[in-house]
Amino acid sequence: MIFSRAADFGYGNTRLRARRTAILRADDYQQLIDLDLDELLDLLQRRSAISETAPDSGNSLQQLHMLIQHDLGSALEDMRSFYRGRARELVDVLLSRYDLANMITILRAGARPDLAPDHPLQAVIPVGWLRPPVASQILRSDGLAGVVELMARALPDRDQARALHNSFEQYQRTKDLAALERAVIGDHTKRSLSRLGRSDRSSRTLIRFLQQQADQDNLLVTLRLRDAILSGADDTPPPAETLLPGGAISQKSFDKIRHEPDAAAVVTWLGTRYGHPLRTPLQRWVSDGDLLELQRTLDRNTIASTIRLFVSGDPLAIDIPLAYAAEKQLEAQELRLLGEAAARGIPRDVVNSELSLSMGSS
C-alpha cells in the first residue's frame, strides 16, 4: 500500500523532543566510565523505567546487555505509540528495520546448532513482532529449517512469509547462508520502498535513508571483491548476486569499482557522482586499505548525520523520529561498550577513544 493521506507528526515530535532530554550525553559517559560492572548495572536499573520487567538471570554482563536492549526497545515502541494515521505508518516502516535485524539474528542462530538458544536472545531488540518471547520459541525448533518454518508462521505479512519460504528453498540447494540473508534483506527493502511512494517529503526522506544503507553495504561488499581480485583471485568468478536492491548507486557503477585497480580513482569517481558523504570516509581507506575501519567510519557518519536532523531537519516530519531512533541506538551502543570495558578491565584511555569514535568525532 502506498500512503496517500497527510502525515501529522506535530504531537509525536513534541513528545520525542521532550524525551530526548533523558538521553545520555558525552559528559554523562565520562561519569560512567570509571564505574565497575555491578555499579553500572545498578545505575541503569535505577534509571530505567522498565527495570522491573528486564531479565535478571545470567551474570552481570548478560543482565546489562539485556537491560540495554529492553530500554532501547521500550523507547522505540513508546515512540511508535506517539503517532497516528499516516505518520504512524511511516514510523512503522522506519522501525521495521529492527524486525529485519532480529530476523537475520535468528536465522544466523538457526544455522549454528552449537549455540545455546538463549545466547542470540541478547542481540534481539524488543521492537516489532519478533521480540524475545517469540524469538525464544522459534530458536527451540530443530535446525535452520525449523527456525524458518516457525518464523514464517509468526510473520504478520503472509506475502513476506512466502518469500522467506522461497528463499529458504534456494538455500537448501546452495547452502549459501549469505545469499539467504541477502534475499531476506532484499525482500524487506523492496516492500518498504513499495509502501512509501514519493508523494511527500517524509516518504522521500525515508527512501533516501534506506538507499544510503543499501549503498554503504553494497560498497563494502564491492570493495571486498575488489581486494580479492587484486590479491589474485580473479580466476574465481564472484557470486552472481552480491548486491542488495534499493540503493541509488547502480550495479554498473559497482562493477566499475570492482575492477578498478587504482584506489584513488575509485574515490574520485564515486565523489564526482555521489558527493561528499562517500568521498571523505574513502580518503583514509586509500592510504591504509582498512575496510573494517571504513565500515566503522561510514556507520559512525550515518548515525551522526541522522542525529543532526534534530537541528537541520523538518520539525514536523519523519526527520525527528529518525533522529531520535539514531540517538537511542547510539546510547545503547555506548552503554554496551562501557559494560564490556568494565567486565574486561579495558584501560580508560582506550575506552575514551572508542567512545569518541562511536560518537562521531574524528
Same domain, 283 and 348: no
Same domain, 174 and 268: no
Number of domains in the chain: 3
What domain range includes position 37?
9-83+312-362
All 3 cell numbers of residue 80? 511508535
pLDDT in single tens digits along all 362 residues of the chain: 445 567 899 999 999 999 999 999 988 998 999 999 999 999 888 877 544 444 555 688 989 998 999 999 999 999 999 999 999 999 999 999 999 999 999 999 999 988 877 788 888 999 999 998 999 999 988 899 999 999 999 999 999 999 999 999 999 999 999 999 999 999 999 899 888 876 789 999 999 999 999 999 999 999 999 998 888 765 555 555 788 888 888 888 899 999 899 999 988 888 776 666 677 788 889 988 899 999 998 998 899 999 999 999 999 999 999 999 999 999 999 999 999 999 999 999 999 888 865 554 43
Same domain, 192 and 208: no
Residue 16 sits in a domain whose CATH number is 1.10.132.50
Residue 1 in domain:
no
Domain-ending residue, one of 171, 196, 221: 196
Same domain, 106 and 189: yes
pTM: 0.90
Same domain, 220 and 290: yes
Same domain, 221 and 301: yes
- pLDDT for residue 270: 82
Which residue stretches of 235-315 are H helix? Answer: 251-258, 263-274, 276-288, 291-307, 309-312
CB 266 within 8 A of CB 260: yes
Same domain, 361 and 316: yes
Residues whose CB falls within 8 Å of the CB of residue 141, separated by 6 or more in sequence, listed in order: 110, 147, 149, 150
Same domain, 41 and 78: yes
Domain-ending residue, one of 145, 171, 196: 196
Residue 212 in domain:
yes
Burial of 321 (0-12, 13-18, 19+ CB in 10 A): buried
Same domain, 267 and 284: yes
Residue 129 sits in a domain whose CATH number is 1.20.1690.10
